[in-house]
Structures are given as structure tokens and as C-alpha cells.
A and B are shown apart, each in its own frame.
Chain A
Amino acid sequence: MIVVATNVTYLLAWSFLDPRSNYVGRKPPLSPEQIENLLRPRNLDNTVPLVERWWTWLTGIVLRWDWGVSPTGGSVNEQVAYRMWVSAELVLGATIIMTLLGIWIGVYTASRQYKLGDRIWQGISIITMNINIIVAALAVVILAINFNKWVGTRVFFVTGSSSEGVTGFFPVIVDALQHLILPTIALVVIGYAQYHFLQRTLLLDNISADYVRTARAKGLTKQQAIRRHALRTSLIPVATQVAFSIPGIFTGAILTESIFAWQGMGRYFLTTINGNDVHGVVAVAAFGAVLTAIGALLADIAVVVLDPRVRVS
């Protein structure tokens, strides 16, 4: 499926992007031949039949793992290899934190159904879930700027994923955290609520089940019964949900990255579309598809771990 989707994106990208238009309006103007000479070695010349371009592109990937070059001649491989770690840091970190937070709040509220704690979290979650990622990210930026002013030093960095010239093991980690924390907060704030609601509903379905009552009858406390018996069964659908929400988080990361000026895949996506960089756009799409696949794989593993009825063959 990843292969098919990537190929379709390649064809779609060609029907919307035209690398030739990058050279329109150059001073001094370039002749069509000059443009062709620039584009043909990069496999971006649209006078070559589309099938031939596609074949060159595909064989390049299959035989040499070469994802092509941008209209300016930069290698897509290099860009992606650097940027994917920047994005992965953000997307994976945020996914893990929001899942754990959502599950924890879900368990907390389900064990106190219709009490004050449940009501308050319900109210908070329904609002945060419907705040737009842009608004959340910018609000976080404003708060951080005010916090920095109030403290007097730069605790949080609002732009970039790391600072220049930081060396040593611990300084690098501290620096990375100072940059990472704000975009992660923005992603977590808008993302955790769906797991909260899902976990709460599922746990409430299970909390009155016979086996939980049996566990209570054996002498377990309510907390133990929920944690060991009810939670385990109700985690399974949540795990599947996490896998399918990863593309959405990636889309959210496109916006967060452009607000926080991270040089990740999301930023790359914007640059490539604006620069008519067909190969770059396709690489981003493939990256998104791979993320989805990894998510699905992780979900399967989680289901196997959680559900004793599923056996790995």
C-alpha cells in the first residue's frame, strides 16, 4: 500500500507542480533550451514523457535508494535523512506523552464517574480537544515569551530545534529539551483529550463486568482491580486508535513546525510545494505513509502484549 500511495503521489505531484515555472522571470531570461539542460539531468524536465520520468525515478529508488534531486540540485535523501529525526523527535515524543496522559486521565475520571473530578476534566478536555493546533501553539509561544521576560533569562526557546555551538553531552540534552518542550506541549494539549474520552468510555464498560467483580471479591482493592483487570482489556482499542491517529499528529506537526521554525519534515513539505520540488513532495508523502505503517505495527505489538488471546504465529 505504501508503494502504491507513493506512486500515486508522484503522478499527482506532477499534475500540480511545474519545476519549469521556477525559472520564469529570471533576469537575464533563460531560453527553453537552457532550462531543459538544467532540468533534464535532474529528471524534472516535463518535455520527457511522464512514463519515462516515472520509470527513471522508480528505478533510482529501487536500485540505488536514490529519491531524486530538487530543482536546485540538492539531494532529497540528504534533506530527509536529517529532517526525519527532527520530526520524529517531536511526533513520537508527543504521541507517547499524550497517550499516557490521556489514558491516565481516562482511568482517573472513569473511577470517579459523575463526581467533581470527572466533571472538571470533562470540561477541560472538550475545550482543549476543539482548540485549533495553531491557536494552541501560538498561545504557548505567548506564554513562554512572557515567562522568559518574567524570569529574566531564556528558559524556553520559541524557534528552532537546537542552538548553534552547544557541546558536551548534558548541555546538548538540556538544550534539546528547552527547544522540544514548547511544541510538544502544544501537540499534547490538543491531542490527549481523544484518549481521555475513549479510555473513560471503554473502562466504564468494563468496570462493571463480572471478572472485575470477581477480582474485587477475591479481596483486591478497587484500584488494584481496575489496574490489573479492567484496564488491561480496555487498553486494546486505545492502542489501535493511537496507530491511526499518527498521520493526524503528523499534519499537526506540519503546522507546529512552521510556527516554531523547526527544520523538520513539515517545514520541508511547505518548502517543496512552494519550490515545485516534485521529488521532495513525494518523499514527504512516503515518510507519512511509513509513519502510518510503523504506527500500525506498534499497535499490533501492543495488542499482542495486552491481549493474551492473540497468539503470534
Chain B
Amino acid sequence: MSTEMIDPAVQPPVGPDTTAERIPGKQLSKWTLYTRRFMRNKPAVAGIVIFVLMVIYSIVVPLLTPYKIDDQDFMNLSTGPSPEHWFGTNASGNDNWLQTAVGLQRSLMIAVTVSVGVTALSAIVGTAAAYFRGRVEQITLMIIHFLMVVPTFLILALVSNNAGGDWRVISLAMIFVSWFFPARVIWTLALSLREREYVDAARYMGVPGMRIVLRHLVPNIGSLLVINFTLGIVGAVGTETGLSFIGFGVKAPDVSLGSLIGYGAASVTSAPWLFYFPALALTLLTVSMALVADGLRDALDPTSAAGGRA
């Protein structure tokens, strides 16, 4: 370890750029490369287009529609799709087109909150456990293994039923019951990361432990975190829908895709449109996110063969 390493102002010596010799032509930036590899996966592109359209639908429709979510149209009680009400109305005359948009918005908000929370928490806990070793690692793993046995769906149902349908509490509860599986996976990966030279170098430079974890370990599992985030959205939407469907999640007057599907399920023979449209929105949302995750995996994985050249 030379003395140069101690002074952060001194740039490490840069060797001859060997990559430029291997790849003739222009050097691609990291993001161009990722984008190009992602765009090659056609289903993933379709997925992201569908996803963006759904987000626009969920944000724009509630703003532009002339009536509000709880407005009732007494001329159209439980009528099917019509030019006036594109997705039909429910038994109390609420417009299904608007309700689906608001429900989708609520489901997306929960899903994004949960996925951000789970990804961040699992990344920090997993890498910190691996980095600090010893007692910290043992205790963290013990907690993780214990949580794996506890019936999490039951805890979730208890907490969210108690919260009276507040989506923020539900999100927090969902983060609490879903962070430990990814944390376990990340811990396994970080076991090899913690042995790297740059971690040693940072430690000898006197960088505090938590900062090494955040600056050096977490960014190095970045691609995994991006994929975990997308898959986390799929999982969170599924869990939230299940909870709201059985009546333990989001409660009236708030709506989510789950509660809308639950409402539609009750009248599936008499007013099937109340089920079809929220169910379609849900399926499109999860399938598109899964396709995006698949494409991201191909684009970000340096060993992936699906990316083709470059």
C-alpha cells in the first residue's frame, strides 16, 4: 500500500486504456450501452410503454374528468360501458373509468413506497451485516431467520385491519414484512464484496464503517437493486390487492385495485365490467413490470448472453 493512497486528492495512476483497443470505433458510455441492450429486448420495451401509459392514465384521468370520485349518476345505476361512462358504472352510480384510475393510482403509490422502502432497507441491512461481521452479523441473521418463520401475511392482516385502511400504515406494514428475504440474498452477495481491495483501501483511509457500506458496497449491487425494485412493485401490488380484496387493506371511501376487484367480484355475473376493467389494469401493471424487470436483468448483467454484441 503506497503512501499515495492515503491522500484522496492524488488520482490513482491510470493505465493504458485497453478497452479502447478491443472495441474498435466509438467508446459507448455506460448509459448508452444499458439503453441499447434494453431496447433490444422487445417485450421489455412493450412493458415499459404499457407501464408509462398506465401511470399517465392514473394521473391524468382524475385531473381531467369533470366529475369527482364520489359523484353519483342516478340516471346510470349499474349500467354497462357506454359513450358517457366508458367503463360502466357501479350500483351507486360511480363512474368506473374514474374509479379504476384512482384505484390504480392508490395501488401504484403503495407499491412504489413499499418497493423503495424494501429495496433501501434490505440493501443497507444486508450489506451492513456482511461488512461489520461478528456480533452484528449474527444478530441480524438471527432476526432474519426468525422473521422467515413468522406468518407474515397474518401479521400484515392484523396490522392493516387495525389501521382502518390508512394506506400509509399499510405501506409501512408491508415494508416490515417483506424486507428480510431480499436482505438475506444481498447478505450472501456482500460476503464476497466485503473482501474486495477497494473496501480494504477505504478502511485503511479511515472512512467510517457506515460510509463504506453506503458508498462502496451498496452501489456495487446497484444492478441487483434495480431489478429487485421492479420485481418489488409486482409483489407489492399483488399483496396489496390481496389484502384489500379480503377487506383488510384500503377501505372505503379510499379505493385501490384490490377493493375495486373485490367489489366487482360480488357482482361478477350481473355487472361483469366492474370486475373486468380493474382486473385488466392489475394484470397489465404486473405483467408489464415483470417484462421490464426481465429486460433490465439482460441489460445490466455483464455476463448476459441475451444482450448480443455491445
Instruction: Report yes or no: B149 in contact with A289, Cβ–Cβ below 8 A.
Output: yes
Does A221 interact with chain B (Cβ within 8 Å)? no
Does B287 interact with chain A (Cβ within 8 Å)? yes
Q: Which residues of B contact A258 (CB under 8 A)?
A: 246
The distance in angstroms between the C-alpha atoms of A74 and B262, with both chains bound, is 29
Q: Given A138-B279, A142-B272, A273-B248, is A132 in contact with B151 using a C-beta cutoff of 8 Å? A: no
Question: Interface readout for B116-153 with A: 1 if CB under 8 Å, 0 if not?
Answer: 00000000000000000000000000000010011101
Partner of B283, one of A9, A17, A130, A281: A130
Instruction: Report yes or no: A131 in contact with B150, Cβ–Cβ below 8 A.
Output: no
Q: Which residues of A contact B242 (CB under 8 A)?
A: 132-134, 251, 254-255
| A243 nearest CB across to chain B (Å) | 12
The distance in angstroms between the C-alpha atoms of A288 and B279, with both chains bound, is 28
Interface of A is mostly: helix
Instruction: Report yes or no: A2 in contact with B269, Cβ–Cβ below 8 A.
Output: no
Instruction: Report yes or no: B154 in contact with A138, Cβ–Cβ below 8 A.
Output: no
Does A109 interact with chain B (Cβ within 8 Å)? no
Q: Which residues of B contact A8 (CB under 8 A)?
A: 150
Does A310 interact with chain B (Cβ within 8 Å)? no
Does A141 interact with chain B (Cβ within 8 Å)? yes
Most buried by A among B161, B237, B241, B246: B246
Q: Which residue of A lies closest to B243 (CB)?
A: A255
The distance in angstroms between the C-alpha atoms of A12 and B147, with both chains bound, is 13
Q: Which residues of B contact A273 (CB under 8 A)?
A: 157-158, 161, 248
Does A269 interact with chain B (Cβ within 8 Å)? yes
Q: Which residues of B contact A76 (CB under 8 A)?
A: none
Does A16 interact with chain B (Cβ within 8 Å)? yes
Interface of B is mostly: helix
Q: Which residues of A contact B158 (CB under 8 A)?
A: 12-13, 16-17, 273, 281
| A124 nearest CB across to chain B (Å) | 12
Does B268 interact with chain A (Cβ within 8 Å)? yes
Q: Which residues of B contact A4 (CB under 8 A)?
A: 146, 149
Instruction: Report yes or no: A292 in contact with B287, Cβ–Cβ below 8 A.
Output: no
The distance in angstroms between the C-alpha atoms of A8 and B283, with both chains bound, is 36
The distance in angstroms between the C-alpha atoms of A258 and B157, with both chains bound, is 15
Question: Interface readout for A45-71 with B: 1 if CB under 8 Å, 0 if not?
Answer: 000000000000000000000000000
The distance in angstroms between the C-alpha atoms of A11 and B265, with both chains bound, is 35
Instruction: Report yes or no: B268 in contact with A134, Cβ–Cβ below 8 A.
Output: no
Question: 18 new A-B pairs (CB below 8 Å) besides A16-B161, A16-B162, A142-B272?
Answer: A1-B146, A13-B158, A126-B43, A127-B283, A129-B290, A131-B283, A132-B237, A133-B242, A134-B262, A135-B261, A138-B275, A254-B246, A255-B242, A259-B265, A269-B157, A270-B247, A285-B151, A288-B151
* The 9 A-B residue pairs with the shortest CB-CB distance in the complex, in nearest-first order: A130-B286, A16-B158, A285-B151, A135-B279, A130-B290, A5-B149, A130-B287, A288-B151, A1-B149
